[in-house]
Structure 1
């Protein structure tokens, strides 16, 4: 059984879309599927033992690795389509998995040109995501145009793999047939979190020493709520100088912007670690005492599961997260400390409470870890995707 994955993004990179593609591709590669990944020229190559055969587009001047739209991307997508056609023909591949919307349209075009089947792998709404990145306004003319593109793709894909039932319901409202939709959530690998204690200790010693370490990982896009987190941390640190905040992720301009805010707040004890390889993220999570997800209730991301929450849960540490659908589709009051989004006071109180009683707070972390390894194993998720692929081979 052979399949081509279309990764119209930096691959692999330390954010949701590339990591979902990598996880799915690695999961089915471990189950006897020959996986060919067609990707942009950017990103780190998957480990050799992942079983993923990588095919990159030609190298070119485009260097952006962060999420969001760009007027240059259509050129990259044309290159990706050309590469996909060549890879599919050369390797006699019958099924194409197009991930996210650019990958979905590339996969659809290649499948129709070559007489193949296409599976659309989705974790977000195209039109709503563009709203989140301020590329367009909801209900405007451009919004309706992109919603029609979204409707076309979900109406013509041979099968659709969605990250959540919420997104599946949205696609049904656009006309997708229910029998073509299967929930294939983003997963987690338990072995990624089975690390030597000395490696974890080394990172902790470097970042904060013996202080209590709160950690955020992910992009620094506005909807992630980093300004609220910094303001809340500043309030808590007035009373607790032992608390240290580490922020992993973001581009250099984003980091400089938030460093400027930190200076205005007059707060110390914050480390911006920048981007780290995705294979290193578990070490940072295991090194922390508290994990924070301050994401805002944003209409553009309402249908997206916050996939980093799965990694947070796998670390077994207390989680403070905003009470939004992107979090509560995975977390609940038993597994996390949920706070109102965009509320500095509530987030400050939660940080202070958890920091003040870490031992008791860790019980929720243990429950979260148990739940994520039971419900979101890449092995079982890979079997589900493999079954969809098998329908067309």
Structure 2
């Protein structure tokens, strides 16, 4: 046809490009038309383990950003967490499943039964799963209910070298066993995609990289003196900080050891940890033992803005899919030091957008922070380059468009685009 939309491989076994007829132009009527009937929407269920910052916030952004005229989006997961109310306020249907936990428990068969009841009752077209345990239970439920499309996103991995061998084996098996139940895989960074293939969690050629979007519009693009004042630290005092849940994944004790190593050489430096978690008591005890003062703010809903008051941002994580807090720190042009784990090197290019260090190496982290403090011009340049990179590549609109394209491709729907003009 002379007018049409190019649709790669639609309806063709050989993948050749065919044309789908373009809709005819609208005619402005002289009389009022009857209201059109409501067209059925594609029902999507996201199944996630812990609906909190990081993977949870990324999942919520993708749910909020889908076209409400085309999609009806639901989220199911572990009860509790700061994002459920925000999801409901945005019009997303939510189901907090009783008994669901982020670790393996004897109640998991009951959780699976509840998921099956939900999927069977609502007849979802797409089940989109996240995280290790949520991915396992969600994909098994989808298969039992014969859900047409199953997608899984790798935000990181539920197993890592620092957990016990039996637990690591169990979580790796959970992810591998559901590989064949999945029609498409997404990953938040190229290195996460590569690791998923190398670990045989996804077949080669079946993983699309969709950068983990972060809403950055409300964040300043440079140092913010107002954020510094929130800590009560004078501008003339160097402030080193981190943001994240204070748990074993983030290695908060390594941050304290890093702070002690820096403090021994630069006694006037201040340190802050923004966040809360089960290891707060151990952090306080170690800081007292090493004679270094670390400000603990507890959970702060404005954590992303507070980062703009730091002189250097540090993450000491032992594993990290990409790092939401890291993305937000780069967006505020903060010089960063980060452990080279999982997808972090896709975001922090050593010497260009920050410095990379080995995990579980507080002395090496302290040396990297010291280098940035000794070379302020280079540190400032890295911060500016990191800001430009994340603000251009991590927009929620781009992520939602990629997820929409994934769903459309699996359902055989044309990808919207400009209508071709008449042939000459």
Q: TM-score range by the shorter chain?
A: 0.7 to 0.9
Report the more deviating stretch, 352-361 or 327-336. Answer: 352-361
Q: C-alpha distance in 2, partners of 1:334/1:30?
A: 39
In structure 1, runs of 5+ residues without a counterpart are none
SS at match of 1:391: helix
Give the direction of change, closer, same or farther, for the CA distance of 1:38–1:222 in structure 2 (3 Å limit): closer
Where does residue 329 of structure 2 map in the other structure? 312
Q: By how many angstroms is 1:74 displaced?
A: 1.7
User: Given that residues 95 and 392 in structure 1 are in contact (C-alpha distance below 8 angstroms), is that contact kept between their aligned partners in structure 2?
Assistant: no
Q: C-alpha distance in 1, partners of 2:275/2:79?
A: 21
> Residues 44-102 of structure 1: CA distance to partner in whole angstroms, max 9, x if unpaired?
222566442222224x6x8x8xxx6252662673365156326xx33x43111111122
The answer to whether 1:78 aligns with 2:119 is no
Give the direction of change, closer, same or farther, for the CA distance of 1:318–1:165 in structure 2 (3 Å limit): closer
User: Given that residues 23 and 378 in structure 1 are in contact (C-alpha distance below 8 angstroms), is that contact kept between their aligned partners in structure 2?
Assistant: yes
Counterpart among 259, 272, 297 of residue 246 in structure 1? 272
The answer to whether 1:36 aligns with 2:74 is yes
Where does residue 357 of structure 2 map in the other structure? 339
Give the direction of change, closer, same or farther, for the CA distance of 1:42–1:392 in structure 2 (3 Å limit): same
Where does residue 294 of structure 1 map in the other structure? 316
Q: By how many angstroms is 1:254 displaced?
A: 0.7
Report the more deviating stretch, 74-83 or 280-289. Answer: 74-83
Q: C-alpha distance in 2, partners of 1:273/1:241?
A: 21
Where does residue 409 of structure 2 map in the other structure? 391
Q: C-alpha distance in 1, partners of 2:409/2:248?
A: 41
Q: By how many angstroms is 1:151 displaced?
A: 1.9
> Residues 301-329 of structure 1: CA distance to partner in whole angstroms, max 9, x if unpaired?
48x33443222211211112234454212
Q: C-alpha distance in 1, partners of 2:79/2:117?
A: 11
Residue correspondence of structure 1 range 189-200 to structure 2 within 5 A: 189-194=215-220
What's the TM-score, normalizing by structure 2? 0.75
User: Given that residues 208 and 244 in structure 1 are in contact (C-alpha distance below 8 angstroms), is that contact kept between their aligned partners in structure 2?
Assistant: no
Where does residue 321 of structure 1 map in the other structure? 338
Give the direction of change, closer, same or farther, for the CA distance of 1:321–1:168 in structure 2 (3 Å limit): closer
Give the direction of change, closer, same or farther, for the CA distance of 1:72–1:312 in structure 2 (3 Å limit): farther
Where does residue 363 of structure 1 map in the other structure? 381
Give the direction of change, closer, same or farther, for the CA distance of 1:172–1:227 in structure 2 (3 Å limit): closer
Q: Radius of gyration: which is bigger?
A: 2
Give the direction of change, closer, same or farther, for the CA distance of 1:37–1:206 in structure 2 (3 Å limit): same
Q: C-alpha distance in 1, partners of 2:372/2:201?
A: 45
The answer to whether 1:18 aligns with 2:47 is no
SS at match of 1:2: strand
Residue correspondence of structure 1 range 112-191 to structure 2 within 5 A: 112-116=143-147, 117-126=149-158, 128-129=159-160, 131-132=161-162, 134=163, 136-137=164-165, 143-173=168-198, 174=200, 176-191=202-217
Give the direction of change, closer, same or farther, for the CA distance of 1:40–1:232 in structure 2 (3 Å limit): closer
Report the more deviating stretch, 380-389 or 306-315. Answer: 306-315
Higher helix fraction: Structure 1 or Structure 2? Answer: 1
Give the direction of change, closer, same or farther, for the CA distance of 1:215–1:336 in structure 2 (3 Å limit): same
User: Given that residues 222 and 333 in structure 2 are in contact (C-alpha distance below 8 angstroms), is that contact kept between their aligned partners in structure 1?
Assistant: no
User: Given that residues 8 and 77 in structure 1 are in contact (C-alpha distance below 8 angstroms), is that contact kept between their aligned partners in structure 2?
Assistant: no
Q: By how many angstroms is 1:369 displaced?
A: 0.8
What's the TM-score, normalizing by structure 1? 0.80
The answer to whether 1:204 aligns with 2:263 is no
Q: By how many angstroms is 1:37 displaced?
A: 1.0
**What CA RMSD, in Å, does the superposition of the two structures yield over aligned residues?**
3.1
